[in-house]
Amino acid sequence: MIRNPRQGLCVPDDLPYRDVLEVANPYLGPCPSLQTNRAPLKNRFDPFEKFGGPRLADEDVWQLETFLV
């Protein structure tokens, strides 16, 4: 608003992201990008297993239901 007072109300998609990051970076700190090995079957834990609910088949482990608890 201070840099562009005549631009009016803007939604986040309309903002210049480089200008926003220029102001925000000192507060964000380091933002590393690291590769991970997300394997759903490796550390699979089902907290509701003893209640006998339906269990996903191993070929369906990449479905959204696998990520929900």
Both tokens assigned to 56: 């996903």
Please state the rounded mean pLDDT for residues 20-44: 82
- Asked whether the beta carbons of 40 and 61 are under 8 A apart, the reply is yes
Q: Is the pLDDT of residue 27 over 70?
A: yes
Given a cut of 80, whether residue 35 has pLDDT beyond it is yes
Is 22 a member of any domain? no
* pTM of the model as a whole: 0.39
Residue 45 belongs to some domain of the structure:
yes
Q: Domain count of the chain?
A: 1
Domain housing 44: 40-69
Tell me whether residue 54 is in a domain: yes
Per-residue DSSP letter, 3? S
Is residue 35 one of the residues assigned to a domain?
no
Give dist(CA 65, CA 45) in Å, integer: 13
Q: What is the CA radius of gyration of the chain?
A: 22
Any domain includes 31: no
